[in-house]
Structure 1
Amino acid sequence: MAHQEDRGHPRARRSGETDRPPMGWNSWDSYGTTVTEAEVLANARFLAGHDGGVLADAGWDTVVVDIQWYEPTARRGGYNDAAPVLFDDHGFLRPVPERFPSSAGGRGFAPLAAAVHDLGLRFGIHLMRGIARRAVEADLPVPRTPYRTGEIADTASTCPWNSDCYGLRHDHPGAQAWLDAMIDHVVGWGVDFLKVDDMLAPYHADAVEALSLAVRRAELRHGRRVLVSLSPGTGLSLAHLEHLREHADMWRVSDDLWDRWPDVEAQLGRMARWAPHSGPAGWADADMLPLGRIGVRAERGEPRHSLLTADERRTMLSLWCLARSPLFVGGDLPTSDPDTIADLAHPGVLAVAHRSAGGRELLREGGPGAETVVWGAATDDGSTRWAGVFSTASEARRVRVPAASAGLPGAPAAVVDVWTGELVPLRPADATTGGDTVLDVEVPAHGVRLLRLDAATGASGGAA
């Protein structure tokens, strides 16, 4: 467990580097367990503005290689039981050289991380909780200790959906020593972002603390910041909030989300619970954005462009930004459709994630499948306010909401639709509106009207 001198360093609060949610690309939605170095680099170049990409200037700055980069028999559509994972003489996982050629000769991810850094981006990888089962069976030496890997594993602690690893015995001194050495090893490759899985469902408090300590020590040794993302978030409770803030930078609040409307709709409720607690002290993560061309060799489905409609896509992006969720897109960017790329780069929408505070649900009314849900957010000084008017109905419909109930005070004459740049007039207070200025808008099926009010002018034209 953590030594006393290493405690008291909440991860996000000590970073001092950003007050916006992390953003980037992750290989999972497109490539599942099978992504290759060439595919990672193609997406990194696109993210960085090469090959027609426009996302880096909008804040998309991290590239993450998801699960089983160490599994030579990895396949689309799921995991192999008792997979023949690759590891070194200390039980540290190694990239598969057939998929990541630059890793050959024991170089690990250092060359790929350097290539991503040369593009001005951050580099991340996925890890499972614990230690590879095959490394435990090999009973390897734990660096700089008298212990061996067979002693430090908790063989009764396993992941219910992936058989690669055992948990660690965090009451054994060799467990922290091995974890420290392993994390130092991967941070030494140039890793800036760690997505660590099988941590939260169930909630493994000892593993969360041990990981946080190992990362803190690696940061001090290598002199740079490493973001820690925990998943999955199935059934995650706010009872863990302060513990999460102390030991992680972001944490999932749901199971995997795919390109299905019910998945998006469910996040309206989850993020209503978590958004008031999300910010630079730690980011509640509504999961990756399954947008663009996904399913190339993924866990679920055939190659496809996201099955979400354009309006559902904008609902997702609007909600994630109002809730200030991390934004990690899963589509293969070079082959994704231009409309999706344009939405991901929309400066007016991303300004909500980058500049707002206090995003929260303000109003929810109506029955299942036909709810009106209203969110509000504002800059710290109140000079700009945003309102998101969502409809869960399967057909377009008119929604009438008092402007004050949407967080738009002062009875403005008009607000701006952020997605389109159009002015949206408000109905003035009179006998027909019950004495309230009313926001009266047409909302698409499963759609949103994301609105902005700038206090200096009452309203502001343009989409930015």
Structure 2
Amino acid sequence: MKIKLSIALLLLSATTFAQQVKLAATPPMGWMSWNIMSENPNEKDIKEMVDAMVSTGMVKAGYKYIFLDDCWQGGRDNQNNIIADPKKFPSGIKALAGYIHSKGMKMGIYSDAAPLTCAGYTASLNFEEQDAKTFASWDIDYLKYDYCNAPEDVATAKQRYGKMAKALRNSGRDITLGICEWGPREAWNWGAEVGGQSWRTTFDIRDKWNDTDGKGGVGIYNVIDKNAGLASFSGPGHWNDGDMLNVGLKGVKGPSGAFGANGCTDAEYQSQMSMWCMLNSPLYASSDIRTMNETTKRILLNEEVIALNQDSLGKQGERKIKNDTWDVFVRPLANGDFAVAILNKAATTQNAKVAFSDLGLSDKYEIRDLWQHKVVGKGNKWAGKVSAHETKVFRLKKA
């Protein structure tokens, strides 16, 4: 009897894992409404963003999702079905999802594991099954599930996220679950177990490089440093989520400007893109795609760097060198190549000298710079200048 039970549990575990991989075989990519639209997401602007995602080449580059964040809700109807704000979304969410799907994209939506969301709107606690079925009936593809107004303990978080994950599985539609408890309960330890496909590792990211000014708030490097230690929890179907890409925000007013955040340099934005790809974070653009400049396009649309993030092996980069000036990461790729990222943490340009043997790479390689889009050398080492907070990214192919 025990043997039969063990086999049944193993089969169930294998089935659950296969489902998770199916839902997020590679990190999800898309655009999220929060930083630009904040408490006023609406049908008109979302449709304009969808059109811009197509016309700018974002969809072609792999950004398939439109994520509708908080503040879309209009309460519940007389059957307790969650509904959209009719002024913000006069055609309804199902019609909006249809528009998004017609453009070759997918739709994500937001809720919270409590009675109210972070912004005080209707959430899903005790309505998990009903809301999951509603989301499925609207043809939703992804749920970002937040944790504002919820208890601080781990056990409750696991129970609430597990309940929603089960409800999504029973909804009749494949819906990816993004766990958004921000890291205090260390969801990387249990997120996959309860049915999540990704989990936030820090509090909300702000449009700043690092929290060194005493004003608080999470910056780009804070996330890099946190996720660098979580490589063992990342892989197909389960990803460490570093939160939204700041690329192109340039100090715009709104949520990203909290805690004194007033924008980053282009080198810092490029580093964020580089390291989110090296560390397998989901890629959620959050600036206004309708008006992005050429530098923002260049960063967000770098298909050689995106290819690292979407590599089928799904192996997160590991930090091999960490000192006051440098972080150096290595990740293996599905075709046998390696990606190497060299991050200058200093506030001034530095001269780098990296022997690949110090990274555990003993062969000689063709060295391709993924930001210059060209081969820059062959051998077993690289030397060159790296500007303040810049990240050099190389693809090494055995020579």
TM-score bucket (shorter structure): 0.7 to 0.9
Distance (Å, rounded) in 1 between the aligned partners of 2:235 and 2:94? 31
Contact 1:385 1:407 in 2 (8 A): no
1:195 is displaced (CA, Å) by 0.5
Q: 1:448 maps to what in 2? A: 391
Contact 1:362 1:375 in 2 (8 A): yes
Distance (Å, rounded) in 2 between the aligned partners of 1:372 and 1:244? 32
Match of 2:281, SS state, is coil
Matched, 1:58 2:61: yes
Matched, 1:36 2:42: yes
User: 1:90 is matched with which residue: 58, 79, 103?
Assistant: 79
Match of 1:19, SS state, is coil
Contact 1:31 1:297 in 2 (8 A): no
Q: 2:136 maps to what in 1? A: 187
Q: 2:232 maps to what in 1? A: 276
Match of 2:273, SS state, is helix
Match of 2:170, SS state, is helix
Distance (Å, rounded) in 1 between the aligned partners of 2:256 and 2:161? 29
Contact 1:321 1:349 in 2 (8 A): yes
Distance (Å, rounded) in 1 between the aligned partners of 2:18 and 2:293? 35
Contact 2:251 2:264 in 1 (8 A): no
Matched, 1:364 2:321: yes
Distance (Å, rounded) in 2 between the aligned partners of 1:87 and 1:442? 58
Letter in 2 for 1:184: K
User: 1:352 is matched with which residue: 294, 308, 320?
Assistant: 308
1:162 is displaced (CA, Å) by 4.7
Distance (Å, rounded) in 2 between the aligned partners of 1:396 and 1:260? 19
User: 2:30 is matched with which residue: 12, 21, 24?
Assistant: 24
User: 1:214 is matched with which residue: 167, 170, 188?
Assistant: 167
1:345 is displaced (CA, Å) by 1.2
Letter in 1 for 2:133: D
Matched, 1:256 2:204: yes
1:30 is displaced (CA, Å) by 0.8
Distance (Å, rounded) in 1 between the aligned partners of 2:309 and 2:209? 22
Q: Summarize the alignment of residues 143-154 of structure 1 with structure 2, pairs less than 5 Å apart.
A: none
> 1:349-406: CA deviations, max 9, x gaps?
1111112543333333333xxx200011122341x21100001100110111212224
Matched, 1:420 2:372: yes
Aligned pair in 2 of structure 1 residues 327, 243: CA closer, same or farther (>3 Å)? Answer: closer
1:115 is displaced (CA, Å) by 0.7
Distance (Å, rounded) in 2 between the aligned partners of 1:102 and 1:273? 45
Q: 1:321 maps to what in 2? A: 277
The alignment covers a number of residue pairs equal to: 374
Distance (Å, rounded) in 2 between the aligned partners of 1:15 and 1:364? 31
Q: 1:290 maps to what in 2? A: 246
Contact 1:21 1:283 in 2 (8 A): yes
Distance (Å, rounded) in 2 between the aligned partners of 1:197 and 1:92? 19
Between structure 1 and structure 2, the one with the greater Rg is: 1
Letter in 2 for 1:124: G
1:245 is displaced (CA, Å) by 4.3
Contact 2:27 2:281 in 1 (8 A): yes
User: 2:97 is matched with which residue: 107, 113, 118?
Assistant: 113
Q: 2:330 maps to what in 1? A: 376
Distance (Å, rounded) in 2 between the aligned partners of 1:163 and 1:130? 10
The alignment yields a C-alpha RMSD, in angstroms, of 2.7
1:322 is displaced (CA, Å) by 0.7
- The runs of 5 or more residues in structure 1 that have no matched partner are 71-84, 104-108, 133-158, 169-174, 429-436, 459-464
Letter in 1 for 2:288: D
> 1:119-148: CA deviations, max 9, x gaps?
11101111111345xxxxxxxxxxxxxxxx
Aligned pair in 2 of structure 1 residues 409, 314: CA closer, same or farther (>3 Å)? Answer: farther
Q: Percent identity at matched positions?
A: 22
Q: 2:186 maps to what in 1? A: 237
Q: 2:352 maps to what in 1? A: 399
Distance (Å, rounded) in 1 between the aligned partners of 2:114 and 2:254? 24
Q: 2:5 maps to what in 1? A: none
Distance (Å, rounded) in 2 between the aligned partners of 1:54 and 1:235? 37
Distance (Å, rounded) in 1 between the aligned partners of 2:128 and 2:136? 12
TM-score (norm 1): 0.74
Aligned pair in 2 of structure 1 residues 297, 119: CA closer, same or farther (>3 Å)? Answer: farther
- Of 414-423 and 390-399, more deviation after overlay is shown by 414-423
Contact 2:207 2:249 in 1 (8 A): no
> 1:290-349: CA deviations, max 9, x gaps?
2224776733549xx982211111110111111111101111101111221222111111
Q: Summarize the alignment of residues 72-87 of structure 1 with structure 2, pairs less than 5 Å apart.
A: 86-87=75-76
Distance (Å, rounded) in 2 between the aligned partners of 1:407 and 1:388? 14
- Of 22-31 and 340-349, more deviation after overlay is shown by 340-349
Letter in 2 for 1:191: I
Distance (Å, rounded) in 2 between the aligned partners of 1:256 and 1:183? 25
Matched, 1:332 2:279: no
Aligned pair in 2 of structure 1 residues 232, 441: CA closer, same or farther (>3 Å)? Answer: farther
Contact 2:38 2:255 in 1 (8 A): yes
Distance (Å, rounded) in 1 between the aligned partners of 2:128 and 2:370? 46
Letter in 2 for 1:60: Y
1:213 is displaced (CA, Å) by 0.9
Distance (Å, rounded) in 1 between the aligned partners of 2:134 and 2:251? 32
